Amino acid sequence: MTILVTRPSPAGEQLVGRLRTLGRVAFHAPLIDFTPGADLPKLPQALAQLNDGDLVFVLSQHAVSYADSVINRAGLRWPSHLSYYAIGRTTALAMHRICSQPVEYPRGREISETLLLMPALQQLAAKQVLIMRGNGGRELLGNTLTERGAIVNYYECYRRSPVHYDGSEQSAYWQRAGVDTLVVTSGEMLQQLYTLVPDYYRSSWLLRCRLIVVSERLATLALELGWNTIRVADNADNDALMRALQ
């Protein structure tokens, strides 16, 4: 098995390092890069305006790191009177380290649907909700919290932008290297990889690779694009991806 990891840095590099330590052949080709988000300057004031028991949601480790840099530069601390939630365990731990407050997260799959099952999120009348995320993304979390009575505001803490490759050159290299397993962790990156690879290499190599994804939603998209051999990791962190790659 020769593995191509498309997960961005640093998690993608860390996954490749773990695989190589075990003697696996793995390459890293991040498809997305990150820059500060447009709403970062407004974040300190937004946090200051929240009341006791209002909710803060953080949807990725990148949101945590970019947001914390702004809070630190402003000479502020993360408020202790708020309820903090994260999309998954790794993001929750990252948030807990910077705010020193309990951070709740779903113990099942690390997706919005599982997070929304938490009992404390069922009735939110007049609660303010601040969602820290990247540009774009799904609206399910915010829309559902709004339906449950919350006043929801999104804050773009970082921006995702595609990393540009020469599609023909990279595809030929990956095929020559014997890549037969792909790790893709978002629909945006899956579509980007599919578009990057020219038609010839798409049919002769890309769609014949085994694909490791992190959600059933992503697996459905992969099926629609033409992949047949797909495995869904039991979560989105590197530990789960390592298990899926056994």
SS3 164: coil
CATH class of 35-160: alpha beta
Select from 55, 48, 43 the least CA-distant residue to 126. 55
Q: Which pTM was predicted? A: 0.79
Q: In angstroms, what CA-CA distances link 201 with 188, 195, 205, 208?
A: 20, 11, 5, 10
Which pLDDT tens digit goes with each residue over 193-241?
999 999 999 999 999 999 999 999 999 999 999 999 999 998 888 999 9
Mean pLDDT of 162-189: 95
What sign does the dihedral 93-98-102-103 (CA atoms) show? negative
CATH class of 2-31+163-244: alpha beta
Which pLDDT tens digit goes with each residue over 72-115?
999 999 999 999 999 988 899 999 999 999 999 998 788 899 99
What residue ranges do the domains of the chain occupy? 2-31+163-244, 35-160
Q: In angstroms, what CA-CA distances link 236 with 107, 110, 120, 164, 167?
A: 12, 7, 23, 24, 27
